[in-house]
Structure 1
Amino acid sequence: MASENAEEEHAVVTEGPWKLELEGYGELQFSWLDFGPNQNREGGSRDDSRLVFEQTRFVLELEGEMPYEIEFGAEIEFEHGGTGAALELEYEEFGEYEQEVEKGGEVVVEELYLAKSFADDAFWVRAGRFYVAMGLLSELYEPTEYLAAGRPESEQTVIPGVWDELGLEVGSQLGPVELTAQVVNGLDSTGFSSQFWVASGHQRRFELVRATDLAGIGRVDVTPLDGVMFGVSVYYGGTSRNRPKPDFAEQCPDGDLQREVAPCGYVSAPLLLVDAHAAIERGPVRARAMALWGKLEKADVISEKNRNLSNNLEVLRTPVAEQAFASWAELGVDVADFTALNPRHRIEPYVRYEYYDTMFDTREDLFDNPRFEKTLYAAGIGYALDEAVTAKLDWTHRSFGSDRLNSENRVRLGLGFVY
């Protein structure tokens, strides 16, 4: 029996070196806004009436199987129809930053990994660039997988949206429980800011990814029933040693700076993130919910160091808070399920609620700016055909942490497809 299995496995291996599968998705958005583009005025944005059209993203996903059941995956995302920009730190140019390409939009490799499964997919290991197992957008990011016309603003503001990093992942599927553990490169604290907290610390400005500070992620997801999932995730990692220059080195009088970059080590500034999430798809009902809290140590030191960064680094250089919070929930019901329409069609009224604050808790000497505390209410209707083509129309109202700031309204049409 063992020899027969070996022959069968060998036959599969020699049948062909590659098995390829091409997938992907695309999104377009057309928005009407009743507010001006400058939200930083004393009373918030001024009243306006303007249209914004956006080629949001087009994504190519390539999956394949190589000999010995080794899998690979690659994902290339074209954002806003443009090309990206890379920064190089030129020490020969007195340590100044040099930008190679400048154009709106990005072309980004969001996934590039090798993976191997064991014991009928009960265990797996993956190495390369992959999605960080935090929040819901790491799992439900295609236009047919969330209800509203766009991805939730809250999750994309506090942490990197559909967050990808380089590293190693191991996981296990034990009945209804899925366990995931990852070790990846940490964030770069030069990008931390009042407006985007740690989200803008995602390392995309340079060609090389600095991983002197690593991060560990643990995630547990439970699926007790078909269409019901809930779980928690934890992220913990350093942020001070991935900066482009060693400006977080400890100051010491007897260190040999001629021979060592940081003879007395670095100031530690760890980041902790914790989230709880859930998703339901039962009959005509779909619902998603996520809440995330984060704490950044030495936020005051990071703010002080960032204030002195070069303009050429193109970061905001605004003070960063010690804590941030984000939450969102959406609920939709497929009314086509109650009609005589072909089940290939989905007509889904939905509502969404979001609350987030990138200055959720601040130190005494830092002003808790109410413009970064935001509450959003959205209502709309979506149509989907075969879970492959979707159109969604919704209205969103955004308010801030102070009545002195002008509230904002948006009507948005989102078009998407999955192939």
Structure 2
Amino acid sequence: MQPKRFLAPLWLTLGATLLPPESEAAPPTAADLERMWKIIQQQQKEIEALKAKVGENEALKREIKELRAAQPPAKAGPAEPVQADQQAPKAPAKAAKSEVERKTEILATEVEKLKTKLFIPESREYKSQYGLGPAASEVYRVSRGLSIGGYGELFYTHYTGDRGDAKDRIDLTRAVLYVGYKFNDWIVLNNEFEFEHATTGEGSEEKGEVSVEFSQLDFFLHPAANIRAGLMLMPIGFINEIHEPVTFHGNRRPDVEQFIIPTTWREMGAGLFGQLAPGLQYRVYAVNGLDAKGFESTGIREGRQGGSLALAEDFAFTGRVDYTPSFAPGLLVGGSAYVGEAGQDQRFRGQRISPLTQLYEGHLQWRYRGFEFRALGAYGHIGDAAALSAAKGETIGSSNFGWYTEVAYDLMPWLWRDSTQYLAPFFRYERYNTQASVPSGFDRDRTLDRWIYQAGLTYKPIQNIAVKLDYRNVNSTGGPLPDELNLGVGFIY
């Protein structure tokens, strides 16, 4: 139907509807004119819809015509004589027709995907973005809608040397699900749900837990200043934010990033993140403070509140800066800090104290042509450690420290030049002490002054999977500790 041909009967209909017979003709009133204008507007909308439908039909006809023209002609066999009284059979067209129908269905499916904006990538690009791990960053790369990913790790531990009462273990350490949703091009929701040790309990025995590792909303306003709010990972160290098992060597996370930096550490709050200059990124948050009633001789780890009915009488501030210079490919240098009160307006043996908690950290990473190097150092301080130790009945270190260095090298290019697999031996040295200094009148636990030699091998058949073997030689000034042989697998998706 041509729109211009449709207009003539339209106007005749309008005239017949709104104008009286000639014998009763009268000047149209304002109400009549308003009614006519509304009808004209409605009919104009219908005309535009008809135009669009005609255009769609013509486009579809052209595509089907092109598909039919692209069909290869049927191959003719050797000519055979045909009797005069016999009629040559018609060439079968069923196969060609079915091929056209198949391609038409494929075309229709692709059009439907575009209409619904369905995002189904053929392959994923795994890289870290905005301070999160490769799998956790997937939601930032979809066009819109739901994104699902995750990771898991399991390993076997065999204790050797001065093993004491230590028993060999095999454990599904973590199974994690990432669920994200991209509302539009500037609002993104990202969540991490973690299941630890395969179960939350068995009868009266508690084994693991289910927890929300983070749940945050990102508002992208400007490359230099974006907003993040919710349950957020503290931007401290290498592992706390990026802890997916294919991103670090060894089956166990470094002790320094468990006891000095209490990975995985998350709190409720809000803040800013962005890029101030090429290669210069930052994150700064205001969050609820720690709970000093959870502090122990082993550090501040049990003072984390994790967004679970968290006390918010005291707040804290944390921030991080990273720089990746263009003149040194693969180099990353940065630092982070955390400062906040941890008393939460509570009484400790009848008195309120001010356990100001501070943690400062610096890090360096360099990856170049198969060579990998990491170094990290951290220092912490706890205020009112004497009153806190007296209230807790154990020695709380007024200061603590930890550091480690790590080297690795990918041998696969030397063993199999064209391979995309990865095979790297590594070595790590750690030193830390959660009681570097203690309040006067309190004794140190010398087994908490430790150093660890660790060596192992990491093999990745694909970038999503890491098979790990490592040996940890653990030492302390307070006496021997069990050594460990660990064998495990980690994966992301």
Does structure 1 residue 329 correspond to structure 2 residue 405? Answer: yes
CA displacement 1:353-375 (0-9 Å, x = unmatched):
11110101112211122110110
Q: Within 5 Å, which residues of 2 pair with 1:18-417?
A: 19-34=145-160, 46=164, 50-67=167-184, 69-83=186-200, 103-119=206-222, 121-173=223-275, 174-195=277-298, 197-203=299-305, 207-224=308-325, 225-241=328-344, 246-248=346-348, 266-307=352-393, 318-402=394-478, 405-417=479-491
Q: Separation in 2 of the partners of 1:349 and 1:68?
A: 42
Q: Which moved more, 1:375-384 or 1:167-176?
A: 167-176
The CA deviation at 1:213 is 0.8
The CA deviation at 1:129 is 0.7
The CA deviation at 1:207 is 4.2
The CA deviation at 1:267 is 2.9
Q: Separation in 2 of the partners of 1:18 and 1:84?
A: 38
Match of 1:42 in 2: none
Does the 8 Å contact 2:144/2:185 carry over to 1?
no
The CA deviation at 1:57 is 0.4
Q: Separation in 2 of the partners of 1:394 and 1:250?
A: 48
Task: Please report the RMSD computed on the Cα atoms of aligned residues, expressed in angstroms.
Answer: 2.5
Secondary structure of 1:374 counterpart: strand
Secondary structure of 1:67 counterpart: coil
Match of 2:77 in 1: none
Structure number with greater Rg is: 2
> Relative to 1, partners in 2 of residues 1:168 and 1:49: Cα closer, same or farther, differing over 3 Å?
closer
Calculate the TM-score normalised by the size of structure 1.
0.78
Q: Separation in 2 of the partners of 1:180 and 1:273?
A: 16
Q: Separation in 1 of the partners of 2:319 and 2:430?
A: 25
The CA deviation at 1:140 is 3.1
Q: Separation in 1 of the partners of 2:205 and 2:262?
A: 22
Aligned residues: 352
> Relative to 1, partners in 2 of residues 1:49 and 1:139: Cα closer, same or farther, differing over 3 Å?
closer
Q: Separation in 2 of the partners of 1:319 and 1:363?
A: 8
CA displacement 1:105-161 (0-9 Å, x = unmatched):
011101111111123x33211000111011111243111111122211221012321
Q: Separation in 2 of the partners of 1:81 and 1:272?
A: 34
Give the counterpart letter for 1:235 in structure 2. Answer: Y
List gaps (5 residues or longer) in structure 2: 1-113, 119-142
Secondary structure of 1:144 counterpart: helix
Q: Separation in 1 of the partners of 2:265 and 2:425?
A: 29
Does the 8 Å contact 1:154/1:327 carry over to 2?
yes
Give the counterpart letter for 2:212 in structure 1. Answer: V
Give the counterpart letter for 2:250 in structure 1. Answer: A
Structure scoring higher RCO (CA < 8 A, sep ≥ 6) equals 1
The CA deviation at 1:74 is 0.4
Does the 8 Å contact 2:240/2:257 carry over to 1?
no
Q: Separation in 2 of the partners of 1:218 and 1:383?
A: 34
Calculate the TM-score normalised by the size of structure 2.
0.67
Match of 1:310 in 2: none
The CA deviation at 1:73 is 0.3
> Relative to 1, partners in 2 of residues 1:49 and 1:160: Cα closer, same or farther, differing over 3 Å?
closer
Secondary structure of 1:156 counterpart: helix
Q: Separation in 1 of the partners of 2:291 and 2:382?
A: 13
List gaps (5 residues or longer) in structure 1: 1-11, 37-44, 86-100, 252-265, 308-317
Does the 8 Å contact 2:361/2:378 carry over to 1?
yes
Q: Separation in 2 of the partners of 1:35 and 1:209?
A: 42
Give the counterpart letter for 1:62 in structure 2. Answer: V
Does the 8 Å contact 1:351/1:379 carry over to 2?
yes
The CA deviation at 1:330 is 1.3
Match of 1:88 in 2: none
The CA deviation at 1:350 is 0.5
Q: Separation in 2 of the partners of 1:407 and 1:250?
A: 38
Q: Separation in 1 of the partners of 2:361 and 2:282?
A: 15
Q: Separation in 1 of the partners of 2:190 and 2:199?
A: 23
Q: Separation in 1 of the partners of 2:201 and 2:399?
A: 30
Secondary structure of 1:303 counterpart: helix
Secondary structure of 2:259 counterpart: helix
Runs of 4+ in 1 over 4 A off after TM superposition: 14-18, 248-251
The CA deviation at 1:68 is 5.7
Give the counterpart letter for 2:459 in structure 1. Answer: Y
Q: Separation in 2 of the partners of 1:68 and 1:170?
A: 18
